[in-house]
Each structure stands twice: as C-alpha cells, then as structure tokens.
Structure 1
Amino acid sequence: MHASKGDRLVVHGRVVGKEDHVVEIVEVLGPNGTPPYRVRAENGHETVMSPGPDSVVDHRKATGNA
C-alpha cells in the first residue's frame, strides 16, 4: 500500500449495515509512501493508522476537511 498526503483512505465496513469509513491522509509516516499514516476524519479528529486488508487508498485528492 502506497499513499501521499491528501489521498483518501477508505476502510470498508466489515459488518452488514456498516458504511465505509473515509479519512484524509495528512502525513505519511512510513518510508516511500507506506504506512503508518496520520489521518483526519470529517469531524477533525486525527489519529495514526496502519491500515489492514479491508482498506484501500483512493488517490483522488480529498476536498474540504476530509
């Protein structure tokens, strides 16, 4: 998995009825675009994530806050 600042990280819901969780990558902490990533949710909360196999990088740049 490789990402750049501004990309979106999509974590697919693993339970029926749960929506995908989309966050903006605000900092790449690993070498050459690899995890972990500092991410920001729509509500402004930031955290560090090492995405699992249920996650994909959307290389379209995020718009707005997330």
Structure 2
Amino acid sequence: MDKYEDLFNPSFLNKKGILKPLPSDAAVTMAYIPFQQEPVLYDTEEEALMQGTAFPELDKPFTGKGELK
C-alpha cells in the first residue's frame, strides 16, 4: 500500500522550488455529522431523485459562484 504522503503529494510536485500540498506528517481528519432528530423527506421518490437528495434541508443547488476566471 502507498504511503499516505505519497497519495497526496504526487511525483510531479517533487521538482525543486515547488511546495508540496501537504506536509509529510499531515493527519487525516474526521468529519462530525450530527444525527437528524426528525428528518423531513421529499413527498415522492421521483422528487428526491430529481433533487439529488431525499432530505430538503440538504438540497443545496449549485450556484456557480467561486469559479476561476
């Protein structure tokens, strides 16, 4: 298995003068995702499929902001 730093520091970045994206001792992080107490669902499976999620509160449409110009 590859070393952790090799996975996130590709060989093309090993040239002189180019900083690696992560230090060799970088730690893997863990996300905290709270449980939904009373989840609200879309009324139909078709609507959930069209929105890409079964939970309306997670429906975050892409606005296109933040793109590089």
- Larger radius of gyration between Structure 1 and Structure 2: 2
TM normalised by structure 1 equals 0.21
TM-score normalised to structure 2 length: 0.20
Greater RCO, 1 or 2 (C-alpha within 8 Å, sep 6+): 1
Bigger share in strand: 1
